[in-house]
Structure 1
Amino acid sequence: MLGYPKNLYLLPFDHRTSFIQTLFGPVKKLTSTQIKIIQNYKTLIFQAFLLAVKKAKFTAGLPAILVDEEFGLSILKSARKKKVAFLLPVEKSGQQIFAFAHGRNFGRVIQTLQPDIVKALVRSHPALKKENQIQLPRLATLSTWCRQNNFKLLVELLVPPTSADLKNFKNKREAFDRQLRPRLTVQVIKAFHAAGIEPDIWKIEALEKSSDWPKVIQSARAGTERQQVSIILLGRGESFAKVKSWFDVAPKRELNGFAVGRTVFLRPLIDLHSGKINKKQALRQIADNYLELVRYWQK
């Protein structure tokens, strides 16, 4: 049966390309020192997560992390020992078309690390026909493999505007998000299903209007076998105020939690990196930020 049995309060910090660019700018190759800095910062985020879990009770959802093995292998191993639920990304970072980070060896990596959930990030739009012809079969391969090998699959779906969309909305992304993206999201989900892509969990960009949620939910759960499919919303690196406004609009009883990362950890890490705060302060701020969103969702 498709779906995941628990609601998720997911702290994602599997960012790789964007993480590097934020800290060091455009670099062709990381130095050993830079790699160590990224590893240390990701470890700090994990420590903050553990602190938050220790400080609060999670009665309505499961606290979980999403981290890459490229910079967070030791974190994944520690999470397994501590029985912390974790998700493993399988996509190659920074790509416009979905590709496996480990090529045909993706299954071996999943089997080795044994994540609770496998995660795939994909950018899709009905107008991107050539791109979809390439990436949908790859995602279908992943979906089939996960079902055959008893791994739950989360698909993180981003529906970015095309240049034509931006032109139509006079380069106003918010207008696109409000007026067109919900309809496109439904179309993309249907296309994924038709291509044999069957996630247990959809991680979807939040919607601006409550009236747009029912059709998205209906498309994700269309058919008898998909009735228990989970849907969580993502934060897209927005401000706390914006994320909370999305929480207010979302039909929480019909959704299954959230995945918010940069909103939680980015400012404390930038301040730590620039020397404005120390490690202990950054740790506390990240933990408090995560708990603030958990409490706001649960209220």
Structure 2
Amino acid sequence: MSLLILAVDQRPWLTQALYGHTATALPAERAAITDGKHMVLEGLLAALDAEPRLAAHAGILVDEQLGAGVAERARAHHVTLSMPVERGGCDVYETEPADLPGFLAHFRPEFPKVLVRYNVEGSASDNREQRSRLAKVSQAVRDSGGRFLFELLVPPTPEQRNVPSEVFDTEVRPGLIHRAMTEIVEEVPVDVWKLEHLGAPEHYRTAADLAAQAGGECILLGANAPVATLDSWLTDAAANGFTGFAIGRSIWWDSLRGLLAGDLTRPEAIAAVAANYRHFAGTFLQ
């Protein structure tokens, strides 16, 4: 079954993008961001009201730091819940919260999520440390009854930055992703891989096959891409073994910023989120 996640778990990045700093958000800023994340959930619920067939596929990825109460509302509406368990903005993975079993027992997310920056040609010691930490997280997730969602980002090494970005994205990074998946899964059981776009259709198929060999599956992340670009990625991913997506800013960024700036009413912002989610869901399910 397809898993179509609306991702709104941004934390340090979102504070910076909205208010120009990465420090702890001020109370008024936190309140505004939290209200905005509730608006995003309301947009998702509006999409499901308008198109009930999506309810079987819909999920939301949200944090508890700047999204307080969203997870509980999502669960009350029977929306599949994913929550991050990594410290935001780290180059080397760190688990957050400190009491991971307690967090998982309290919120009961179906898909606890980690975001990991991992390049097989980068620091071997950092990669080894990350695998060790992530193996413990995977076990905690399994113990809680959840499924482990692994967002894999592959930043270029200094040497790889000499390659033109378009070439890196479409010709170099796909192979690095495949190698990372193979290396990681030897120590870290993964249920769902959340991956960057992979360019050629055969690259998507290889990733899907690698995941399936270990009992997993792949979904596509949105990377804040323009609509036409993301539609193309979704079409390729869906046709080549991917089972869903996790899209965030491409769905809600303009609505959130417009709401906070007073340029959109709340009903207008909700309607735009709903329309964008329905569009991408329709593209993938076709």
Do these two structures clear the TM 0.5 threshold for a shared fold by scoring above it? Answer: yes
Moved more, 243-252 or 132-141: 243-252
Alignment-derived partner of residue 125 in structure 2: 130
Alignment-derived partner of residue 217 in structure 1: 208
The code of the aligned residue for 2:53 comes to F
Query: Aligned ranges for residues 160-239 of structure 1 at < 5 Å?
Result: 160-167=155-162, 169=163, 172-194=164-186, 196-222=187-213, 226-227=214-215, 229-239=216-226
Give distance in 2, aligned partners of 1:218 and 1:27.
Answer: 39
- Counting matched residue pairs gives 285
Question: Secondary structure at the residue paired with 1:73?
Answer: coil
Question: Secondary structure at the residue paired with 2:65?
Answer: helix
User: Does structure 1 residue 53 correspond to structure 2 residue 48?
Assistant: yes
Q: For 1:24-44, what per-residue CA distance to the aligned partner results, in whole angstroms no more than 9, with x for missing partners?
A: 012433211011001100010
Question: Secondary structure at the residue paired with 1:127?
Answer: coil
Deviation at 1:213, TM superposition (A): 1.9
The code of the aligned residue for 1:192 comes to I
> Normalization by structure 2: what TM-score?
0.95
Give distance in 2, aligned partners of 1:81 and 1:274.
Answer: 29
Cα distance change of structure 1 residues 268 and 219 upon mapping to structure 2, 3 Å threshold: same
> Normalization by structure 1: what TM-score?
0.91
Deviation at 1:231, TM superposition (A): 1.0
Contact 2:93 2:117 in 1 (8 A): yes
Structure 1 counterpart of 2:249, from 262, 267, 279? 262
Contact 2:41 2:70 in 1 (8 A): yes
Structure 2 counterpart of 1:276, from 263, 273, 280? 263
Contact 1:125 1:184 in 2 (8 A): yes
Alignment-derived partner of residue 16 in structure 2: 21
Query: Aligned ranges for residues 54-203 of structure 1 at < 5 Å?
Result: 54-58=49-53, 62-103=57-98, 105-128=99-122, 129-167=124-162, 169=163, 172-194=164-186, 196-203=187-194
The code of the aligned residue for 2:259 comes to L
Q: For 1:80-131, what per-residue CA distance to the aligned partner results, in whole angstroms no more than 9, with x for missing partners?
A: 222221111100011111101123x111111111111111111100122122
Gaps of 5+ in 2: none
C-alpha root-mean-square deviation of aligned residues, in Å? 1.6
Deviation at 1:61, TM superposition (A): 5.2
Structure 1 counterpart of 2:32, from 24, 31, 37? 37
Deviation at 1:268, TM superposition (A): 1.6
The code of the aligned residue for 1:213 comes to Y
Give distance in 2, aligned partners of 1:154 and 1:27.
Answer: 26
Contact 1:9 1:61 in 2 (8 A): no
Alignment-derived partner of residue 290 in structure 1: 277
Deviation at 1:60, TM superposition (A): 9.3
